[in-house]
Amino acid sequence: MSLNSFRSGLGRIGSTPAGKATLFTIGAVLVFSLVWSGLGNNLSSGGGAAAAQRGTDTVATVNGEPITRAEYAQALQSITQRMGGQGPGLAQNAFVHSLVLDQLVSAKLQLARAQQRNITVSDKDIAQARQQVAQQDGLAQKLGLPPTASVADINDALAKQGAQPLEQIFPDDSLRQDLILNKLRDSFAKPVTEQEARDFYKEYHTRHILIDNKKVSDVQAQNKAQQILAKVKAPGADFATLARQYSDDPGTKASGGDDGWIGQDTPDPRSGQPFKGYIPEFVKAATALRPGEVTPTPVKTPQFGYFLIKLEAVRENLPKDFDKNKAKYIAQIKDQQQQTAYQDFLNGLKNDSANKIIVQDPALRGDQALAQAQQGDPTQRPAKLQAAVAAYQAALKNAPAAQAGEINASLAQAYQGLNQIPQAVAALKAAVDATHDQDLEMALGNLYVRNKDAKDAIAQFEAASQQAWNDPNVHQQLIITYATLKRPDLAAKERTLYQQIQKRQQQANAPLPGAMPLTMPPGGQGATVIPPPSGGHAGTITVKPAAGHPAPPAPKPGQ
């Protein structure tokens, strides 16, 4: 899997408000189901046992409960297997490592809460789950048995192949944890009445005034919002006029803060979220109002500042077949509300200051800080990057040679995020020397270009070209890069290599694996544009778009 394709896939995580929360709390059910997805590896090499042999020391503790290196390694291995056996590129290790750790932390927190709620499962539940997992994976068919084969029949077939029985592949303790977490999630399901379903599809015409707390201090923004609210409540005040005068939202200021109609069927075109992507605090406050009312106090949001919201009108917008398929819609709403309640619960666990989470492994501490710098509050980014640098430097003191290359790759990202290019070059060079990874070689070449070192840049690009001799995407990138460096001779060489790959693939009657369409005008004239990878974040090592490349549209308040 190429770096760009993996980054593109991960970029979709966190593109919505719910997705961003999911970065921490995808849910322990996923963690343990990922473990079960490693069935093929377990059959062939005892995947769980292999992971356990990597060490039983503690990488982190959650309220005193340890997360062992074996647990962490198995969860990481499972994600790799879910990706088809191809792990992330080294430049994405920090993000994935942090994601796995966060999932395991979330699992520990959820299990503790389930214990407080006396959620348990029986031995019968565990036996049924083992049978279901085997059937869902198609294990019986793989062993030449009917789909309804019993556990005993499957174990007999496994024994003939010298493989472990299902009880060892899916141990009782792990299945018990998985089932407890399923029960915990199911506990958030609540009945939905027909009237609640009808209310669910209502649409709301709102206006708002935004007071940005990034331009001034939070206290100043709050005071300003209170002053404007007093003007809004004054007799004869016109909300739209005040919005044009005071709102900090450039998207709605000119229209008097008019949001139009928002509801479940008015998704944001980018995120796909309902209510035009407005954040939960906005939606909750707006839908609690009656037509003509204004929020009694300013509504604080973590991303944007303070909102004053006026509800102009409400209307029904039921699906045309609602009465005919009422049960279906009620079930869908129940599922959605359950997921929302469960996600709120997970967010509460994450943000509970009473939790004491200690990451003891310095490399993982660095990964966590780097991921937070790339995904979290931009104002905290420099501090998080500095923390990542310190943690990686500590990890390198005792890291084995094999791990040092990975750590240096992540350290280079932290340095680049801090705009410390010489240090980034040194760390990335150490990573390249240790790994000879083609993506890192390309990244190092781009850093040399940024540092105006064309000679070393070309040397790195040539090394990447040799390393990726059969990867069309690398040669595509190099054609563009060499054209930018005004080296038509090297661009022509890469074009020839690319065409040779095309020819080999055509002879093999197979499509280019993941290749992007490339238009090559005669003589190499004209411009060829390869879109920048989606999902890139501050501090990641990637090629910047060419000057003049249009930036994505700015999000609306509430997105």
- The region of weakest confidence among 14-28, 82-96, 440-454 is 14-28
At 272 the pLDDT is 78
Average the pLDDT over 17-40 and give the result: 34
In a domain, 396, yes or no: yes
In this predicted structure, the answer to whether residue 515 has a pLDDT above a threshold of 60 is no
Average the pLDDT over 379-399 and give the result: 95
Q: Please, what is the average pLDDT of the chain?
A: 81
In a domain, 542, yes or no: no
Number of domains in the chain: 2
At 463 the pLDDT is 87
Which residue's structure tokens are 């769980």? 48
Tell me the CATH number at 137.
1.10.4030
Q: How confident is the model at residue 87 (pLDDT cuts 50, 70, 90)?
A: low
In a domain, 414, yes or no: yes
At 152 the pLDDT is 92
- Tokens coding 206: 């709102």
pLDDT 10s digits, 270-316: 777 888 889 989 999 999 999 999 999 999 998 899 999 999 999 99
The percentage of the chain sitting over the pLDDT mark of 70, rounded to a whole number, equals 79
**Nearest alpha carbon to residue 5 among 107, 79, 64, 92:** 92
In a domain, 311, yes or no: no
At 514 the pLDDT is 52
Q: Give the up-direction half-sphere exposure of residue 510: CA atoms within 13 A in the CB hemisphere.
A: 7
CA distance 115 to 235: 55
Which residue, of 435, 468, 491, is where some domain finishes? 435
Distances (CA, A) of 129 to 28, 40, 120, 133, 176: 16, 18, 14, 6, 9
Q: How confident is the model at residue 370 (pLDDT cuts 50, 70, 90)?
A: very high
Which residue, of 414, 435, 456, is where some domain finishes? 435
At 543 the pLDDT is 29
Q: Would you say 545 and 446 are in contact if contact means Cβ atoms under 8 Å apart?
A: no
In this predicted structure, the answer to whether residue 409 has a pLDDT above a threshold of 50 is yes
Q: How confident is the model at residue 509 (pLDDT cuts 50, 70, 90)?
A: low
Which residue, of 155, 186, 217, is where some domain finishes? 186
pLDDT 10s digits, 117-145: 999 999 999 999 998 888 887 888 888 99
In a domain, 378, yes or no: yes
In this predicted structure, the answer to whether residue 218 has a pLDDT above a threshold of 90 is yes
Higher pLDDT, 481 or 30: 481
Average the pLDDT over 167-189 and give the result: 94
Q: Would you say 184 and 119 are in contact if contact means Cβ atoms under 8 Å apart?
A: yes
In this predicted structure, the answer to whether residue 50 has a pLDDT above a threshold of 50 is no
pTM above 0.85, yes or no: no
Find all residues with CB under 8 Å of 386, minimum gap 6, and list them. 418
In a domain, 391, yes or no: yes
Q: Would you say 101 and 59 are in contact if contact means Cβ atoms under 8 Å apart?
A: yes
Average the pLDDT over 420-428 and give the result: 94
In a domain, 50, yes or no: yes
In this predicted structure, the answer to whether residue 51 has a pLDDT above a threshold of 80 is no
Q: How confident is the model at residue 513 (pLDDT cuts 50, 70, 90)?
A: low
Higher pLDDT, 528 or 221: 221
In a domain, 501, yes or no: no
Question: Domain of 374?
Answer: 366-435
Q: Within 10 Å of residue 286's Cβ, how many Cβ atoms? A: 25
Query: 3-class DSSP state for residue 85?
Result: coil
Q: At how many degrees (to 10) do helices 69-82 and 28-37 cross?
A: 70
At 84 the pLDDT is 66
At 217 the pLDDT is 92
